[in-house]
């Protein structure tokens, strides 16, 4: 008889809840939080409006982030004969291809300035290729990171933001290694460095990393629900490369567009970051300040909206991925 009483009591409660609703059996939230703390449980409650708490949660789990970062590096360069040198070979080959292409098309200044001017353009293209490699690699790898780890997401809880963030760290590592090539190669090309303004390149890299962080939060969470994002992204990256001054300098924009359209063009955060880095290191023309201000506002809006959206996606990600 004592064994049957708990079962009958549970059936009575379920029948009463169906009849009168959940309000009759509602428990005060503060009481449940206190009881959860006494039992050693963590009560998450409602998500914060701007999603800033997930940043703190990700920072507290930074050791796990480093683990994901090391794992991604090992997977990327495992059983590769050349190894990390691919980070140097890819932008260098891209630079040489575009140099030869522009030379045979007759759009470079080799006819006027001689071969020295031709080789100095290589440092301009190489810097643009390195920064674009950060955007391309981070967005490409991070977009499918949540889907690739869906067997882990559906079983245990951890800050899901760490997965796309680890892809961003790998892209920053590639940029660091590739940047080691820029200084000796540009010196061999005869390019002079502007060390007094080199701090602008660091600002540009940090700015571009923040932009990529907001973009990968949007893309990875959307790809977890709609796989179409993974198919559309390569096409968008191809378009974005030519809409940004990756293989050409900002001086060509000044000669082709009016002031208004120059500001609109530099509202693209990638274009502003590349132009700012070239100004700081190579002494190239500085993009319009108004355009860079608009790009900074767009970057801030992208990051804030991505934090809000990613926080909401955490509520259904494990069920729909």
Domain boundaries, the chain: 47-320
Q: Which one is predicted more confidently, 55 or 4?
A: 55
Instruction: Grade residue 11 by pLDDT with cuts at 50, 70 and 90.
Output: low
pLDDT at 106: 64
pLDDT single digits (tens) 193-207: 777 888 899 999 999
CA-CA-CA-CA torsion sign (189, 200, 299, 252): negative
The residue with tokens 């796989």 is: 227
- Integer Cα distance of 138 and 83 in angstroms: 19
Structure tokens at 23: 């309000």
3-class SS of residue 129: helix
- 266 CB contacts (<8 Å, ≥6 apart)? 272, 275, 287, 288, 291, 292, 294, 295
User: What pLDDT, on a 0 to 100 scale, did the predictor assign at position 30?
Assistant: 47
Nearest to 209 by CA among 128, 139, 141: 139
- Helix, strand, coil percentages (3-state) for the chain, rounded to 5, are 80, 0, 20
- 25-46 pLDDT, tens digit per residue, is 444 444 444 544 444 444 444 5
Confidence of residue 177 (pLDDT cuts 50, 70, 90): confident
Mean local confidence (pLDDT), 171-187: 82
Q: Which two tokens stand for residue 218?
A: 């949007």
DSSP 140-208: HHHHTHHHHTHHHHTTS---TTHHHHHHHHHHHHHHHHHHHHHHHHHHHHTPPP-GGGTHHHHHHHHHH
Q: Pick the range with the lowest mean pLDDT from 8-22, 78-92, 136-150.
A: 8-22
Q: Predicted confidence band at 158 (pLDDT cuts at 50, 70, 90)?
A: confident
Give the gyration radius of the chain's Cα atoms: 26
* pLDDT bracket for residue 111 (50, 70, 90): very low
pLDDT at 212: 95
pLDDT for position 88: 80
Tokens of 286: 């500085």
Range scoring the smallest mean pLDDT among 66-70, 129-133, 249-253: 249-253
DSSP string, 66-113: HHHHHHHHHHHHTT-SSGGGHHHHHHHHHHHHHHHHHHHHT-STHHHH
Cα–Cα distance, 77 to 140 (Å, whole number): 17
Question: 159 Cβ partners below 8 Å, 6+ apart?
Answer: 54, 57, 58, 61, 64
Going by C-beta distance under 8 Å and a sequence separation of 6 or more, which residues neighbour residue 121? 99, 102, 108, 109, 249
The whole-number pLDDT of residue 147 equals 87
Q: Which of 43, 109, 151 is nearest to 249 (CA)?
A: 109
- Neighbouring residues of 51: CB distance < 8 A, sequence distance ≥ 6: 307, 308, 310, 311
Record the pTM: 0.78
Q: Identify which has the larger pLDDT, 286 or 79.
A: 286
Per-residue pLDDT at 5: 45
Q: Please tell me the distance from the alpha carbon of residue 227 to that of residue 221, in angstroms, as a whole number.
A: 10
Query: Which position has the higher pLDDT, 215 or 313?
Result: 215
Kindly state the average pLDDT of the residues 121-145.
Answer: 89
CA geometry: angle 200, 205, 209, nearest 5 deg: 145
């Amino acid at each position: 008889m004592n064994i049957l009483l708990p079962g009958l009591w549970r059936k009575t409660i379920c029948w009463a809840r169906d009849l009168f609703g959940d309000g009759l059996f509602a428990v005060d939230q503060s009481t449940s939080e206190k009881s959860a703390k006494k039992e050693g449980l963590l009560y998450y409650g409602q998500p914060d409006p701007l999603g800033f708490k997930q940043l703190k949660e990700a920072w507290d789990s930074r050791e796990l982030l480093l683990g994901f970062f090391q794992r991604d590096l090992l997977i990327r360069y495992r059983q590769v004969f050349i190894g990390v040198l691919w980070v140097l070979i890819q932008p260098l080959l891209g630079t040489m291809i575009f140099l030869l292409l522009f030379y045979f098309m007759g759009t470079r200044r080799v006819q006027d300035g001689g071969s020295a001017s031709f080789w100095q353009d290589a440092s301009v293209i190489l810097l643009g290729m390195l920064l674009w490699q950060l955007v391309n690699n981070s967005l490409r790898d991070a977009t499918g990171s949540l889907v690739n780890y869906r067997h882990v997401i559906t079983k245990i809880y951890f800050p899901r933001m760490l997965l796309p963030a680890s892809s961003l760290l790998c892209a920053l590592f590639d940029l660091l290694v590739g940047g080691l090539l820029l200084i000796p190669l540009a010196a061999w090309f005869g390019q002079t460095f502007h060390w007094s303004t080199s701090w602008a390149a660091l600002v540009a890299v940090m700015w571009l990393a923040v932009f990529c962080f907001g973009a990968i939060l949007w893309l990875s969470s959307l790809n977890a629900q709609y796989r179409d994002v993974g198919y559309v992204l390569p096409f968008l990256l191809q378009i974005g490369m030519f809409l940004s001054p990756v293989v050409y300098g900002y001086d060509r924009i000044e000669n082709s567009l009016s002031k208004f359209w120059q500001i609109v063009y530099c509202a693209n955060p990638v274009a502003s970051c590349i132009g700012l880095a070239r100004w700081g290191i190579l002494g190239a023309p500085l993009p319009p300040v108004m355009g860079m201000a608009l790009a900074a506002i767009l970057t801030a809006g992208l990051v804030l909206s991505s934090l809000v959206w990613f926080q909401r996606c955490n509520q259904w990600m494990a069920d729909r991925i």
